[in-house]
């Protein structure tokens, strides 16, 4: 069986993004078009489907890393903040964006809260979706 670890991540995320667009529970809130994705960014995201791209990436991270919380995902999506002539410093990404996406994925049934640990894990329905998309990517 082909897993998301064995296929190209970019192709996998783009195909998973298209699958997530079909799910009605996953939709960007009204405020998402006006906010930066983190303190290290200079501008708001330029992609129209940024919310679905980030959702697909979070699902893949849950598959690869196992149990993941909002804090670890904030670090994963963070980056260096340019401070002019001063040295750059690392900044985490927006916690609200990650948290809302995780809540939407939980409402859709792809993610569930971890009972004995902090964070969330993939549900069987989420694992099934990711395996299906990985199988489709491997065919191409």
Domain locations in the chain? Answer: 9-139
pTM of the predicted protein model: 0.90
Whole-number pLDDT of residue 128: 93
> What secondary structure does DSSP assign to the chain, as a single string?
---TTSS-HHHHHHHHHHHHHT-TT----GGGGTS-SBTT-SS----TTHHHHHHHHHHHHHHHHSSB-HHHHHHHH-EEEEETTEEEEEE-B-HHHHHHHHHHHHHHTSEEE-SSSSSEEE-HHHHHHHHHHHHHHHH-
The domain over range 9-139 is classified in CATH as 1.10.10.10: yes
At 99 the pLDDT is 93
Residues of the chain with pLDDT under 50: none
* Confidence at residue 33, expressed as pLDDT on a 0 to 100 scale: 87
């Amino acid at each position: 069986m082909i897993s998301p670890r064995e296929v190209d991540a970019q192709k996998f995320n783009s195909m998973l993004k298209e699958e997530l667009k079909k799910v009605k529970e996953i939709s960007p809130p009204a405020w998402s078009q006006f906010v930066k994705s983190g303190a290290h960014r200079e501008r708001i995201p330029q992609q129209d489907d940024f919310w679905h791209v980030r959702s697909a990436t979070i699902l893949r991270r849950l598959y690869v890393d196992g149990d993941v919380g909002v804090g670890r995902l904030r670090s994963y999506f963070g980056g260096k903040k340019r401070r002019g002539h001063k040295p750059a410093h690392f900044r985490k990404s927006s916690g609200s964006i990650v948290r809302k996406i995780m809540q939407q994925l939980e409402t859709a049934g792809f993610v569930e809260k971890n009972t004995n640990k902090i964070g969330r894990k993939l549900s069987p329905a989420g694992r099934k979706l990711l395996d299906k998309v990985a199988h489709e990517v491997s065919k191409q």
